[in-house]
Structures are given as structure tokens and as C-alpha cells.
């Protein structure tokens, strides 16, 4: 154990600390956070029709379901304006956050990122009409604007913004007298960097298309994004990410800040694909998605700390622990565990290292194989991180009651893992009290 902790402190933690402060990763994290409302609103377009259909099929309320048909139609329109254009929104957010990080024109950065993304995807739509294939030019297939284009928007947004930032910092801009209105001056300052950025990205895409005969965005989808998505469905990578995230937290580094860009890049596309499949009435294809971590891996926060809080309230006789648990239980029900992580503390506390990492790993293992063996529906719906345990799993799996059973099993397993260490903490506390009682200072 000592050698393992030394390895983490010597090699892994310095890298994680650097990554957590790297402005590109911070901007990427903030971009994903910026488009989170789009994911949640888009998910409602599945949850609400699902409730209406359940009222019709399960409760026999056909008249009520018929009366709410306009609600379903409105949900379909909302879906078209949210999930169908997810990568488009991400391109804007990615450009904006990068521009903000490097202190250049944010709106111009967002527009540049969007332009670079749209230049990189196919602008030809192929349709089959009466057995004949017809190509429509100067049109976009909405599937390219959905999460399937996420990796393309990420890469070309980064390329375009790099050029834009470089040109702006080099002061290769138009500048006028100080009497020009600020909005107009900012637009002219961004003009030349934007022209150069869009021109270079356009040339890259043109040359690539001429040489390979395919669009750069399609190539990225088939050679990078799809393999990454497939890799993310493996049990090993899910286990590794869970372990690293909790190991970082144990050493006082916000694991989410370090790994959210990786988690979202790999598992957000499968989640959106599952949501689209549910919306279309098709079978979902992906076992593990972005919200699978939230609903199964950390119950009440990283480390299954809600279980720890409940155990302290049930069996601990230490007044300071019980007071802390009473403070932490409210936020804990909403998956906020900072009071217990820093108050107990769990950070750099060797007594709680094993359960803090082992409980989430056990939860992930149970949830992954339960999903793989079709004992529970895969997570398809995006739910806010502050939705309490049990309810978040029920909503995320599109009202699958078996998800509630799975979370209950995970809680029981987490209790069995945490219990011996909580009892050990009580024994250690008693021994310390005895030593302090019979020790005197002169």
C-alpha cells in the first residue's frame, strides 16, 4: 500500500494537478457544463411523452393521453431544437469558453468555432426517392449536427480558435480611433483573425476532401470518435476512470475537474444516441453512458459518502462526527459531499482510503454487468447531478423500476464495505480518548 501511494504521489498526482489547471481542459469542461441545460431540456422530451404513454397503457387513461397529444407534439419540436443540434451548441460554447480563457473576443470566438465546425461536415444530403438516390447540395443532415458531430466540433473548434487567438495576440488586427463605438471596434479587431482562421480551416478541409474524397468530419467520426465510443463500452475503461477519479479526490484534487473532459468526450455521445433511440422507439445500443456514473457509481457524491453519513448517524457515539453527519446529510441527499469529504476528513485519511475507492468500484461492477445482462435498461436520459439517489436512476433509465432495485443493491454493498471501517474509526477514537484521559502533562 505504501509503495502504491508513493507511486501516485510521485507520478500521477503532479500530472493530475497540471491537467486540472490547464486552460484548454478547463475551457473544455466549462463548455460541456454550458451545454448541460440543452441535454436536460432534451431529456424532458423523452420523459414527458413517456409519462403520457404510461398513463395510457398502464393506467388506462386513454382520454387523458389523447388530451395531452399537443404536449407530445411540443416535446418533438423541443427535441428538434435541442438534441438534434447538440454539436452546434457545443461548437458555440467551446469557442466562447476558449476565447474567454485566452481573453479575446468571446462572441467572435464562438462564431469562429461554429464556422470551422460547419465547414468540416458534409453539406450534401442523400435521399432515396422511389428507389432512386438523389443528392441535395448545400444542405446538412441533422444527424451530423447531433452528438455524432461532437468530436469534429471539438477538434476544428480548437484548431480555428488557436489560429484566431494567435492572430489576435499578435495584434494582427484593424484598429481605429478611440471615438468608434466599442461594439464596432471589437468587431473590426476580430475581423482579420477571423478571416485568417476560417480561411486556413477551409483550405485544410478542401485539400483533405480533394485528396481523400471524403469530408474531414466524416473521417474523424469513423476513425476516432466511433472507436473511442466503442472503447468506452468496455468494462476495464469504466473501472479505470472510476478508480482514477476517486484516487484524485483522496489526495485533495478535484477528480471531476481533471476527468470530466474525458468522461464527457467518451460517454456523452452514447447517452445522446440512447436518448435518440428511445425517442424513436428503437432499441438502445450502448451499455454505459455519461449519467451511468452519476446514478450508480457515486451515491450521495464521490465515494458513496451518503452511506458513510448514514452509518455515522446510526452507530457512531462521537458527538463531533454525529454533528458533522447531521450537517452533511442534507447536501448528501443531493449528491453534494464537500462537508463530509473535508470535514471528517476523507482527504488523505488512510483509514477511509479503501472504502472510499472500493465502494464505487463495486457499484460500477454491479451496474455494468446488470446492464450488460439486460437486468436493467441502459441509462439514456440526462438528469441533473443534484437529483437524489434512486430518483435519478429511475428517471435516467426512462422509468425502469429495476434501476431502483439495482441502486438498493448498490447501497447494501456500499454499507457492507464502509461498515468495518466506520467501526474501526470508533475503536480508534475510544483508544485515543483513553490515552488522553490517563496522560498528564507537567
CA distance 25 to 32: 11
- Determine the pLDDT at residue 293: 92
Tell me if 254 sits within 8 A of 248, measured CB to CB: yes
- Determine the pLDDT at residue 346: 87
User: Where do runs of H (alpha helix) occur along 120-215?
Assistant: 142-145, 150-169, 182-212
- Determine the pLDDT at residue 92: 96
- Determine the pLDDT at residue 201: 94
Q: How many CA atoms lie within 13 A of 322 on its CB side?
A: 8
Residue 321 makes CB contacts below 8 A (sequence gap 6+) with 312, 344
Reading the block at residue 89, the C-alpha cell is: 451548441
- Determine the pLDDT at residue 439: 47
CA distance 396 to 263: 17
Cα–Cα distances (Å) from 242 to 167, 297, 356, 434, in that order, read 40, 8, 11, 39
Task: Give the residue among 142, 144, 112 at the shortest CA–CA distance from 225.
Answer: 144
Reading the block at residue 342, the C-alpha cell is: 473535508
- Determine the pLDDT at residue 90: 94
What are the φ/ψ torsions at residue 137 (nearest 5 degrees)?
-85, 160
For the chain, which ranges sit under pLDDT 70?
Answer: 1-13, 15-17, 19-20, 57-59, 131, 176-180, 432-442
- Determine the pLDDT at residue 136: 79
Tell me if 180 sits within 8 A of 206, measured CB to CB: no
Cα–Cα distances (Å) from 347 to 75, 201, 302, 357, in that order, read 44, 46, 12, 12
Task: Give the residue among 220, 256, 268, 238 at the shortest CA–CA distance from 379.
Answer: 268
- Determine the pLDDT at residue 384: 83
Tell me if 358 sits within 8 A of 373, measured CB to CB: no
Tell me if 356 sits within 8 A of 250, measured CB to CB: yes
Q: If 0-12 CB within 10 Å is exposed, 13-18 middle and 19+ buried, where does residue 141 land?
A: middle
- Determine the pLDDT at residue 205: 93
- Determine the pLDDT at residue 371: 95
CB atoms within 10 A of CB 7: 11
Q: What rounded mean pLDDT belongs to the chain? A: 85
Q: What is the pTM of this model?
A: 0.79
Amino acid at each position: 500500500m505504501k509503495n502504491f501511494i508513493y507511486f501516485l504521489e510521485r507520478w500521477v498526482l503532479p500530472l493530475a494537478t497540471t491537467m486540472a489547471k490547464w486552460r484548454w481542459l478547463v475551457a473544455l469542461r466549462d463548455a460541456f457544463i454550458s451545454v448541460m441545460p440543452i441535454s436536460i431540456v432534451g431529456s424532458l422530451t423523452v420523459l414527458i411523452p413517456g409519462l403520457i404513454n404510461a398513463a395510457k397503457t398502464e393506467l388506462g387513461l386513454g382520454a387523458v393521453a389523447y388530451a395531452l397529444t399537443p404536449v407530445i407534439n411540443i416535446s418533438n419540436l423541443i427535441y428538434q431544437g435541442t438534441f438534434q443540434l447538440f454539436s452546434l451548441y457545443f461548437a458555440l460554447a467551446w469557442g466562447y469558453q476558449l476565447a474567454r480563457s485566452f481573453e479575446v473576443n468571446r462572441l467572435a470566438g464562438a462564431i469562429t468555432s461554429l464556422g470551422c465546425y460547419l465547414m468540416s461536415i458534409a453539406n450534401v444530403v442523400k435521399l432515396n426517392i422511389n428507389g432512386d438516390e438523389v443528392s441535395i447540395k448545400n444542405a446538412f443532415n441533422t444527424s451530423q449536427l447531433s452528438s455524432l458531430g461532437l468530436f469534429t466540433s471539438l477538434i476544428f473548434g480548437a484548431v480555428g480558435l488557436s489560429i484566431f487567438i494567435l492572430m489576435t495576440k499578435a495584434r494582427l488586427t484593424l484598429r481605429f480611433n478611440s471615438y468608434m463605438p466599442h461594439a464596432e471596434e471589437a468587431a473590426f479587431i476580430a475581423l482579420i483573425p477571423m478571416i485568417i482562421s476560417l480561411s486556413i480551416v477551409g483550405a485544410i478541409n478542401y485539400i483533405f476532401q480533394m485528396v481523400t474524397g471524403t469530408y474531414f468530419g466524416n473521417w474523424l467520426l469513423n476513425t476516432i470518435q466511433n472507436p473511442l465510443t466503442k472503447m468506452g463500452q468496455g468494462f476495464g475503461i469504466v473501472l479505470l476512470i472510476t478508480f482514477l477519479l476517486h484516487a484524485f479526490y483522496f489526495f485533495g484534487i478535484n477528480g471531476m475537474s481533471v476527468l470530466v473532459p474525458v468522461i464527457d468526450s467518451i460517454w456523452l455521445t452514447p447517452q445522446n444516441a440512447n436518448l435518440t433511440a428511445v425517442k424513436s422507439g428503437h432499441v438502445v445500443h450502448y451499455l454505459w453512458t455519461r449519467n451511468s456514473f452519476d446514478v450508480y457509481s457515486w451515491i450521495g457524491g464521490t465515494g458513496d459518502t451518503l452511506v458513510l453519513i448514514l452509518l455515522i448517524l446510526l452507530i457512531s457515539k462521537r458527538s463531533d462526527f454525529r454533528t458533522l453527519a447531521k450537517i452533511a446529510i442534507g447536501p448528501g441527499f443531493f449528491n453534494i459531499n464537500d462537508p463530509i469529504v473535508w470535514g471528517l476528513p476523507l482527504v488523505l485519511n488512510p483509514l477511509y482510503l479503501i472504502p472510499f475507492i472500493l465502494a464505487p468500484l463495486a457499484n460500477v461492477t454491479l451496474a455494468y454487468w446488470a446492464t450488460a445482462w439486460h437486468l436493467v435498461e441502459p441509462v439514456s436520459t440526462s438528469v441533473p447531478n443534484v437529483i437524489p439517489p434512486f430518483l435519478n436512476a429511475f428517471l435516467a433509465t426512462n422509468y425502469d423500476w429495476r434501476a431502483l432495485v439495482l441502486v438498493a443493491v448498490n447501497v447494501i454493498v456500499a454499507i457492507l464495505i464502509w461498515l468495518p471501517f466506520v467501526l474501526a474509526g470508533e475503536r480508534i477514537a475510544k483508544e485515543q480518548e483513553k490515552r488522553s484521559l490517563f496522560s498528564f502533562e507537567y
